[in-house]
Amino acid sequence: MSFALFSQQGLYFFMKWLHFFFGIAWIGHLYYFNFVQGAFFAETDAGTKNNVTSKLVPRALWWFRWGAMLTFLTGWSMIEMRARLSGWELFMTSWGTVILTGAILGSLMWANVWFVIWPAQKVVIASAQAVVGGGQANPAAAARGARALVASRTNTMFSIAMLFCMGAAANLPIQMGPESNLTLYWVLAVGLMAALQANALLGKTGPMTTIRGVISSGFVLTAGLYLLMEFCL
Ligand code: HEM
């Protein structure tokens, strides 16, 4: 008797299953922060906000950032497993192009979590904890919180397009024709993602300020990337 799970494909599937689990833990918290907690903070009193920031937010951020790390690691190990079997030509296929687009979006999101949101939130949490303990707020906390918000809104927008790519790679039959232009695709797709990421680091929330706006932005980005895939591949 042979166990499917102990085959090479089984190992790949096992990694994918873990990837779903960590991905849900990560993106679930991202949506909680953006769709639930922000609106609650906008209407609650300062004391409650400081209490939540010092006791609930650190717990939620723990699941959030480690979910991001493990989703990132399981995702890239699946790409490595497939690239080891089929070589670099994998990235000349429609699966490779679509999954790599999703992986770039997911990796930008992972970097935003670990290098923008988490360092900024540490300052915000320490400031709220100081206030709860009877001390002074850190005057730098508001600006750090504002930067974390732009990165978090950008991640929410990216997540919608990223999930489309994750699902589309194996399930949406995007054809690569003889006249497909991969170079043009990558120039335009990377240009678009880089511009939005630059805004996460330096710009403002713009249309992503409201929940409706950030969800709409995610759908518009997805439509833009999908059209690029259909026209260039
Ligand atoms: C951080 C960067 C990420 C990388 C590098 C990555 C990479 C991958 C890879 C290589 C696959 C396998 C696709 C296939 O076998 O056809 C996959 C599938 C998948 N990923 Fe990700 N992923 C990332 C983030 C995420 C996140 C945050 C989620 C959110 C839940 C997610 C959800 C999924 C789903 C649902 C599938 C299954 C698609 C299918 O089998 O049809 N991924 N991902």
> How many domains is the chain partitioned into structurally?
1
Q: Is residue 41 part of a domain?
A: yes
Q: Is residue 1 part of a domain?
A: no
Q: Is the CB of 112 under 6 A from ligand 1?
A: no
What pLDDT does 88 receive? 87
What pLDDT does 28 receive? 98
Q: Is the CB of 26 under 6 A from ligand 1?
A: yes
Collect the ranges in the chain with pLDDT lower than 70. Answer: none
Q: Is residue 66 part of a domain?
A: yes
Q: Is residue 4 part of a domain?
A: no
Domain that holds residue 168: 11-232
Q: Is residue 157 part of a domain?
A: yes
Q: Is the CB of 106 under 6 A from ligand 1?
A: yes
Question: What's the CA-to-centroid distance between 106 and ligand 1, angstroms?
Answer: 9
> Which residue owns the Cα nearest ligand 1 atom 30?
23
Question: What's the CA-to-centroid distance between 98 and ligand 1, angstroms?
Answer: 11
Of 13, 14, 19, 164, the residue with max ligand 1 atoms within 8 A of its CB, to mutate for a pocket test, comes to 19
In the chain, the N- to C-terminal Cα span, in Å, equals 43
> Which residue owns the Cα nearest ligand 1 atom 7?
75
Q: Is residue 106 part of a domain?
A: yes
What whole-number distance in Å separates Cα of residue 211 and Cα of residue 149?
12
Please tell me the pTM assigned to this model: 0.96
> Which residue owns the Cα nearest ligand 1 atom 6?
75
Q: Is the CB of 167 under 6 A from ligand 1?
A: yes
What pLDDT does 202 receive? 98
What whole-number distance in Å separates Cα of residue 182 and Cα of residue 184?
5
Q: Which of 157, 127, 137, 149 is nearest to 42 (CA)?
A: 149
Tokens 């833990």 sit on residue = 25
Residues 6+ apart with CB under 8 A from 213: 207
